[in-house]
Structure 1
Amino acid sequence: MSYLVILLLVSGRMSLCSLIHREYYLIPLAKSWNDAQVYCRENYFDLAVIGDREDLKRLSNTAAAAGVNGQLWIGLKKDGAAVWLWSVGDTQSGHGLVNEYTNWASSPESSHHCGGMRHDGKWLSALCQSELPFVCQGCE
């Protein structure tokens, strides 16, 4: 019984964080997508979720202020059914808690399963083993 309560509390935390103001933290370390996610989960909340243009603007400003002008990891990853999901469990297509906002540079490559962002804010798919800086999000 106590396991169910803990699971519900953890699930509620993820959903609640997706709906409230996100704080972004640029991490200038080069890591694979999976290692970046572990780092974010241990030190903040998770990899960055971008729900609308305002989120994108804040995240882009964070990267620009830190002098990052290349690619970086965000919290998008493709599951086995070729559906892009945010690392917190929401679908990129708007069927979860994140709205239908997308900003793909072009159709994501089917052979690449991890999502990143270019310096201009456009999203891209990349090989998960690539080592890039990344953006974590915290919940306020």
Structure 2
Amino acid sequence: MGGLSTLPPHSREYHFVSQLKTWTEAQSYCREHFTDLVTIYNSNINQLLFSMAPNVDDYAWIGLYNDRYSWKWSMEGTLFNVGSTHEFLIWANGQPDCVNANEYCVALQGQTQMNDRPCGASYPFLCYNGRKKELLA
């Protein structure tokens, strides 16, 4: 798998894929090769993801998207309330703004913040591998 970067052993379930794909293509890739795009559910995960992609100058897809009614995680069964005050979910200044009603997918911006982006844009992405975690248990 070209363009795949796996983290140190303590974070084997998270993978940075440097291939440029749209959000839907990234989701399909993660689901085929791992479990899904990443879900950020606590500050440890947030810091880990931010530290795992030091070469992300622009954006990297994560599993958050808007179905035009609400924000949701790609991984089924996980919920997200954009209005909630999670200290570990850091939106870039003025985000999310759904510019031109066209930004329904979320990417990490640099290493520290989230930004809603057009789903058809091509960025590297972050995958979660639950199967590996189960095998290690």
TM-score (norm 2): 0.75
Moved over 6 A (4+): none
**C-alpha displacement of 1:60:** 1.1
Gaps of 5+ in 1: 1-20
Gaps of 5+ in 2: 1-10
Whole-angstrom CA distance in 2 between matches of 1:100 and 1:138: 27
What CA RMSD, in Å, does the superposition of the two structures yield over aligned residues? 2.0
State the aligned residue count.
113
* Matches for 1:34-49 after TM superposition, within 5 Å: 34-49=24-39
More helix by share: 1
Percent of residue pairs identical: 29
Asked if the contact 2:63–2:74 (Cα under 8 Å) also holds between the matched residues in 1, the reply is: yes
* Matches for 1:78-117 after TM superposition, within 5 Å: 78-81=66-69, 83-89=70-76, 90-93=78-81, 101=86, 102-105=89-92, 106-110=94-98, 111=101, 112-117=103-108
Whole-angstrom CA distance in 2 between matches of 1:118 and 1:68: 8
Q: Secondary structure at the match of 2:106?
A: strand
TM-score (norm 1): 0.74
Asked if the contact 1:104–1:123 (Cα under 8 Å) also holds between the matched residues in 2, the reply is: yes
